[in-house]
């Protein structure tokens, strides 16, 4: 019976355990250090009473501003290139555009700028206590994050530290907020 493979496995096991423990500890430390406005949003486990909906709007605004502030800005020449390439019918040029960092930066800037504009409208509706307008703005914000897989890919392409893979949860939270705004179930 050949014991060499078993001996090698027995010798390698402690190294694997140490490596795994180190990886887990590093991941936990990194996750703790990277507490962002996004992590403040998730999970939003409060009732959707009016004051909590105002807080939700504030947290979404903070998250969108944080992402917007960290996305690098295209130079004027890069912006002009993105605009020009977007009008072409040449599939090779379009493919090059869609896979470029310039396009990713442009889409991220557009999406999170739109988020801030919609949050401003949401806050206005909340201040005026217009329930249907507030619900509509929650839904509108949810649609802003409808392309969550693309946003995560764009963030990765431009080496953005923010994790945008959880935007689908934002969308769900926003839709629930819209429903609770309309039905008033959590207002009591």
Give yes or no: residues 52 and 8 share one domain. no
175 assigned to some structural domain: yes
Task: Please state the domain count of the chain.
Answer: 2
Give yes or no: residues 20 and 105 share one domain. no
User: What is the span of the domain harbouring residue 18?
Assistant: 1-33
Tens-digit pLDDT profile for residues 129-141 = 999 999 999 999 9
Whole-prediction pTM: 0.73
pLDDT at 111 over 50: yes
Residue among 32, 86, 83, 37 nearest 63 (CA)? 37
Task: Judge whether 145 and 167 are in contact, CB under 8 Å.
Answer: yes
Residue among 169, 182, 96, 98 nearest 134 (CA)? 182
Give yes or no: residues 109 and 73 share one domain. yes
Give yes or no: residues 122 and 53 share one domain. yes
Give yes or no: residues 94 and 140 share one domain. yes
4 assigned to some structural domain: yes
pLDDT the model gives residue 185: 83
Tens-digit pLDDT profile for residues 17-50 = 333 333 433 344 434 444 455 555 554 567 888 9
Give yes or no: residues 6 and 87 share one domain. no
């Amino acid at each position: 019976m050949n014991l060499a493979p078993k001996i090698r496995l027995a010798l390698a096991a402690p190294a694997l355990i140490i490596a795994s423990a180190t990886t887990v500890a590093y991941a936990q430390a990194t996750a703790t250090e990277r507490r962002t406005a996004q992590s403040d949003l998730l999970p939003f486990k409060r009732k959707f009473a009016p004051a909590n909906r105002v807080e939700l709007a504030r947290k979404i605004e903070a998250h969108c501003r944080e992402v917007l502030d960290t996305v690098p800005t295209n130079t004027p020449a890069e912006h002009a290139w993105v605009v020009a390439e977007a009008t072409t019918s040449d599939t090779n040029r379009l493919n090059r555009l869609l896979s470029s960092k310039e396009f990713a930066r442009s889409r991220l800037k557009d999406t999170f700028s739109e988020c801030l504009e919609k949050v401003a409208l949401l806050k206005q509706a909340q201040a005026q206590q217009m329930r249907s307008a507030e619900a509509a703005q929650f839904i509108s914000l949810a649609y802003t994050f409808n392309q969550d897989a693309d946003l995560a890919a764009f963030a990765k392409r431009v080496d953005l530290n923010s994790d945008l893979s959880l935007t689908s949860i934002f969308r769900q939270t926003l839709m629930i907020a819209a429903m609770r705004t309309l039905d008033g179930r959590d207002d009591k």
